[in-house]
Amino acid sequence: MRDLDETDLEILQLLLSNARRPYSEIADAVGLSAPAVSDRVTRLQEIGIIDRFTLDIDRSQLRKGLPVLITLDVAAHESALPSVRESLLEAGAVEHVFTTAEADLVVVARVPDNDVASWLTDTVGREAVDEFSVTLLAGTEWSPDLGGTEFALSCAQCGNTVDSEGTASRIDGTLYQFCCPSCESRFAEKYEQFRQGAE
């Protein structure tokens, strides 16, 4: 298995700043040919490092509303956390939802009608939230960066980190990463058993 390297990180950083950047431009920046960049991007997608390409929209240009940062305390209703998070993610006013280690939800939103309490009750229901605080935002900026990042692929079988001694295998069209050949063979055996059981 070819190790991921600094060139892969450079390609990712260039795509983070502009996902529509032509491969020829990326190739010039990293010292490769455009087809080589294309191959690397395809491989980064196959192993799950690149999940999808998206648009970064300035919602302030499209939507009215009060820009706020809301911190929701749902600790007493921790079992409701996933459904509250999903409700927030589905709300059109919400731009970002973060979950803290204390099981709080931090939300960046543009609340219509400047009435945060009513909007929150309509969106998630008042009973799921113990308390909340609201901070008015003067502006928001998103600056994704890969500084200090190292690749840490996980073994599809055991979850350990895949290093240079790891292997990769394509099974039914999907590329899987393994920390060792024994994990690869165990995974392939289990996969075949499941596949035969489904037939």
Residues 128 and 63 in one domain: yes
In a domain, 63, yes or no: yes
Decide: residue 176, CB within 10 A, 0-12 exposed, 13-18 middle, 19+ buried: buried
**Mean pLDDT for the chain overall:** 82
Whole-number Å distance between alpha carbons of 71 and 95:
14
The fraction of the chain above a pLDDT of 70, given in percent, is 84
Domain that holds residue 188: 152-199
Residue 15 has pLDDT above 80, yes or no: yes
Residues 77 and 123 in one domain: yes
Of the candidates 126, 119, 121, 131, the residue with the CA atom closest to the CA atom of residue 92: 119
Question: CA 158, 161, 162, 164 torsion: positive or negative?
Answer: negative
Give pLDDT, residue 1. 44
Give the mean model confidence (pLDDT) for residues 158-165: 79
CATH of the domain at 105: 3.30.70.100
Of 106, 136, 166, the residue at which a domain comes to its end is 136
Residues near 41 by beta carbon (within 8 Å), at least 6 away in sequence: 11, 15, 23, 50
pLDDT category, 138, cuts 50, 70, 90?
A: confident
Residues 115 and 170 in one domain: no
In a domain, 17, yes or no: yes
